[in-house]
Amino acid sequence: MSAQILDGKRLAAALRQQIKKEVDDLRKTRGLVPGLAVLLVGDDPASQSYVRGKEKASAEVGIHSVVEHLPGDLAEEVLLEKIDRYNSDPAIHGILVQLPLPGHISQDRVIHRISPEKDVDGFHPWNVGRLYSDGEGFIPCTPAGILEMVHRTGVDVAGRHAVVVGRSRIVGRPVAQLLLRENATVTICHSKTRDLPGLTRQADILVAAVGRPRLITADMVKPGAVVIDVGVNRVDGRLVGDVDFEPVAEVAGWITPVPGGVGPMTITMLLSNTLWSAKRTGK
């Protein structure tokens, strides 16, 4: 293997120590404890596991978290009222509604109801707009984690060709925007893209976020590239990414593993966003 592994678990642990220290300082100097409300509707096993991870990570760094596990047939209006309550609760600095929501609840109505000042997911249109207009706002957690990992390689993003495979609102589009903000030349590929391999082979930085197991094969990767795998696919009970890891690691310069790559960074960025929110609004 020639690639260096970008160890998300290790990087996340180091960042969480730093966050913990800042949370301690905030408590000691201002008597302020960052608070995070997490709302989970229904009992999708993957969502339950993500929410447990968020709860545990919050506790580890001293963030006060409130997790509400709500029934899958919950009326949309009840969820919206709960959001209203957290919006006006001074002990809560971040609100996260776990997605996906059951079909009878409008994701957009829910996201729009969260106060933009507590929207630690960065999904509210105000925060989306701030990201696209170079303003200061919440940056979605997975894209923020990806950027941290790219920085860790020491590769200067400016002027590089970054190719993002996937155009989701949660990952593909915001990560493309973040890379553009750092002066990369950015190409976004998606299901209608012609000659995907021809484009990915040009990538100095390649982000795979489509949810197709092992889509990115070694012949699609430029030698020495930074390869970030956002895929979380379950194949025969095993977790595999969107990148065909072993063969691609022979070609790439840097690569993130699955699991243990982007995943641990996502939760870390949620903690960081919650801390930032408390610092800004908690006076």
Give min distance, CB of 85 to ligand GUN, in A.
18
Q: For the stretch 158-193, what's the b/e string if a residue is b when 16 or more beta carbons lie within 10 angstroms of its beta carbon?
A: eebbbbbbbbbebbbbbbbbbbbebebebbbbeeee
Q: Is the dihedral of CA 110, 261, 241, 205 positive or negative?
A: positive
Could you say which residues in the range 38-77 bind ligand GUN, by CB under 6 A?
Answer: none
In the complex with ligand GUN, which residue's Cβ is closer, 97 or 146? 97
Q: Distance between alpha carbon 204 and the CA centroid of its chain, in Å?
A: 21
Going by DSSP bridges, is the β-strand pair 64-70/185-189 parallel, antiparallel, or unpaired? unpaired
| DSSP state at residue 219 | G
How is the beta sheet containing 35-41 ordered, strand by strand? 64-70, 35-41, 94-97
Contact with ligand GUN (CB under 6 A): which of 66, 67, 99, 239? 99
Residue, CB closest to ligand GUN: 99
In the complex with ligand GUN, which residue's Cβ is closer, 110 or 225? 110
Could you say which residues in the range 183-212 bind ligand GUN, by CB under 6 A?
Answer: none
CB-based contact 282:93 (threshold 8 Å): yes
What is the 3 state secondary structure string of 116-138?
A: CCCCCCCCCHHHHHHHHCCCCCC
Q: Does 98 participate in catalysis according to the annotation?
A: yes
Considering the candidates 82, 118, 119, 121, report the single residue annotated as catalytic: 121
Contact with ligand GUN (CB under 6 A): which of 96, 101, 150, 162? 96
**Residue 132 CB neighbour total at 10 angstroms:** 14
- Pattern 119-138, ligand GUN, x by CB under 6 A: --x-----------------
Tokens of 28: 């000691």
Q: Does 28 participate in catalysis according to the annotation?
A: no
Query: Which of the stretches 91-99, 129-137, 161-169, 204-212 binds ligand GUN when contact is defined by CB under 6 A?
Result: 91-99
In the complex with ligand GUN, which residue's Cβ is closer, 122 or 160? 122
- Pattern 150-189, ligand GUN, x by CB under 6 A: --------------------x-------------------
- Tokens 């489509």 belong to which residue? 210
Give min distance, CB of 153 to ligand GUN, in A.
23
Active-site residue list = 54, 98, 121
Residues at the interface with ligand GUN (CB under 6 A):
96-99, 121, 141-142, 170
